[in-house]
Structure 1
Amino acid sequence: MMAKEVQILHPRPSSIVAALYTLRDLGADVVILHGPSGCCFKHARLLEEDGVRTLTTALDEAGFVFGGQEQLTRLLQRASELFDPKLVGVVGTCSSMIIGEDLHQAVVDAGLDVPVLEVEVHAGYRDNTKGVIITLEAALDEGIISKEEFDRQKFLLEKATQVERLHGAASSEYLAPERGEIKYRVAERLLDLMAGGKRGINILNAKKETAYIFADINAAVAEVAQVRGAAVSTLANLDAKKGLAKVRRDAENILSGLEDRGVLIDRIIGGLDEYPIAGAQVAEFIAEEGGFDYAVISGVPHAVPIESLAGMEIFSITNGPRQVRPLRELGHQHVVVEIDLHPKTMGVKSIVESEFGATLRGLNEVR
């Protein structure tokens, strides 16, 4: 008897975590996880760095048997007393969903006088974007976002899932983590191209807060090109009028930081949540301008159509060790990884130095 095909063997992002980050982007002050104390521990602690009080009902063996609805109600009331939140999120976990906890009744019993978003979610979905959609549905029901914004977000999530399945970390049964090329060698090659009078396109296509580091790479490329008199056009998905509240603020902060560094952006290609579709704007710009010899793409390089980069030497900077092989297979000649990027961009409000940006600037000073 033939065994069933296994589609993905390596762990994938959790829908619960996706819900937590979406609540942050919506402006929640307090988020309560209704489950064991260890559930999503790392991400819960990281969210605290972004100013979100992340609490847990800490369900134990007794809670698994007798339920924890009253415990959730009491914690909602206590959180309201301690933190005086303006928007609260309650997020289900695998445990609470399996035992059938009534999140809504717990919220009603708590009697808070501020909006509470009830997110009935677990980690058993194939795509973590399901956690985002469930959270956005709760926000829509509470009038936190409009139907137009909900539809826009849902469209972007579908496109993001498609990008990952085609050329991302969900594109193969198993992808071993890799660190990519040594950064100074890639930086040396990039400097050689600039010194040789080659023309480049410098693209920021980053996902939300990761842009705080990826933008430094684009700034470094633009700064070094200016010093060397090299021709470089810079594109960025930094439309500050698009996205949820935090996403818009992040775009404003990064735009301001680039402006302070004297970086000229030739075209805005979308918002920080539009990375899965911004590649179309890149392709349009290349078709209009033409004549580029190389491309530097920071953030989500695999969302830029490879056919639009034909004939160019491609430098891709990602934060995903499992993204290295798919990018190489796609035809990107140089791939480097910014390690541990997420912890470095939590709670920040200005551009953070990147390893590759620092390497490029350092080598430029030596040469």
Structure 2
Amino acid sequence: MKYVQPRPSSIVAALYTARDLEVDVAVLHGPSGCSFKHARLLEEDGMRVLTTSLAENEFVFGGQSRLEDVLLYAEEKFSPKRMAVMGTCVSMIIGEDLQAAIDNSGVLTETIAVDIHAGFTENIDGVVATLKPAADIGWITHDELSRQQVLLKAANQVERLRGAAVKEYIEPSRGDLKHLVAKRLVELIREGKKGVAVMNAKKETAYMFADSLLALHEIAPNANISYSANLELRGLPKVKRDAERIIRDLDSGGLSYVKQGALDEYGATGDLLGKWIQEDNPDFALLTGVPHAIEQKYTDGIECFSITNGPRQVAPLKDLGHAHVVVEIDLHPKTLGVRSIVESEFGAILRSMA
């Protein structure tokens, strides 16, 4: 399908994957404005992002010597344990040899070359392009590489079938009014209805998506609600560390829940979570993170409250029969660089109704 709406960039996906691999410095080999917003955001998460700032003359004559200089500068300035060189559209078009630049620079830091550009149809190509050299250098095992490739395909399939990639264009929406949705949820609880609350979140977004579960437990600690969170400890180094921190916060909040899936398995847990919901036979379900991973056949007849961070995910969730859909705007920037659960807008509104 040819999309006419903006889609995630494979270069940005490569940058986030480098961060998950605990890369200290990533060097974008291209113009200074390439992936500017995400580069700045990732610096909030502890990874230095530098650029070779290629200009017009280097578009023609090449910028390998410039890349070598920046690598040496990064090693001297930051004393990193790991570095990654990220390709861009410019470096691909002029045929730059990223690995040769690393070898010729003389840097002693373990450094991988990620040959990537933004012209791929799927952003997961950027993830795979980063994981393959990481496996070759020994940062992850080849078994983990294979696991990641399976998970990426599952996540892509969910987006194509029920997510923001289901149509060539989806009208963005802020969703339903949060205070009205919260009011309805509280009404069901006070009526003694049975519910489930499920977090199926992608990586660091769980720092905010988990808050809705905490808020629900705080206002109704004795309600007939079963909780689930995808916090099994598997995945890349940062992903596991994030899960450990969120587990700590949920446990300290007194929340009792089952762990189903890991933070990088959000696209592959649909059947597991769907069957669990069916077995519990609830009247309502609060679904946070990636609600559309769960097929409609598992939620038919259940009043669904879905929380997403994607304005283009509202319409697909409504099409799945979810009665209430709210959007946590700017969730991703708010969860970069954090080390504990962040209060969500929906969580704050729920607490106000205690």
Q: TM-score scaled to structure 2, two decimals?
A: 0.99
What is the rounded CA distance, in whole Å, between the counterparts of 1:98 and 1:358 in structure 2?
Answer: 48
Cα shift at 1:176: 1.2
In structure 2, which of residues 71, 81, 85 is the aligned counterpart of residue 76 of structure 1? 71
Structure 2's unaligned 5+ residue stretches are none
Q: Which amino acid aligns with 2:44?
A: E
Alignment partner, residue 232 of structure 1: 225
Pairwise mapping of residues 195-234 of structure 1 onto structure 2 (< 5 A)?
A: 195-226=190-221, 229-234=222-227
Pairwise mapping of residues 1-367 of structure 1 onto structure 2 (< 5 A)?
A: 7-226=2-221, 229-240=222-233, 242-265=234-257, 267-288=258-279, 290-364=280-354
Cα shift at 1:262: 0.8
Cα shift at 1:306: 1.7
Q: Deviations over 1:304-362 (max 9, x none)?
A: 12211121100000000000000001111100000001110010000000000000110
Cα shift at 1:291: 2.7
Say whether the 8 Å CA contact 1:315–1:333 is kept in structure 2: yes
Q: Deviations over 1:69-95 (max 9, x none)?
A: 000001101100000000000000000
Q: Secondary structure at the match of 1:112?
A: coil
Cα shift at 1:110: 1.1
Cα shift at 1:221: 1.3
Say whether the 8 Å CA contact 1:117–1:139 is kept in structure 2: yes
Alignment partner, residue 3 of structure 1: none
Q: Secondary structure at the match of 1:239?
A: coil
Say whether the 8 Å CA contact 2:284–2:303 is kept in structure 1: yes
Say whether the 8 Å CA contact 1:295–1:315 is kept in structure 2: yes
Say whether the 8 Å CA contact 1:31–1:89 is kept in structure 2: yes
Q: Which amino acid aligns with 1:246?
A: K
Structure 1's unaligned 5+ residue stretches are 1-5
What is the rounded CA distance, in whole Å, between the counterparts of 2:281 and 2:209 in structure 1?
Answer: 25
Instruction: Point out 4+ residue stretches in structure 1 off by more than 3 angstroms.
Output: none
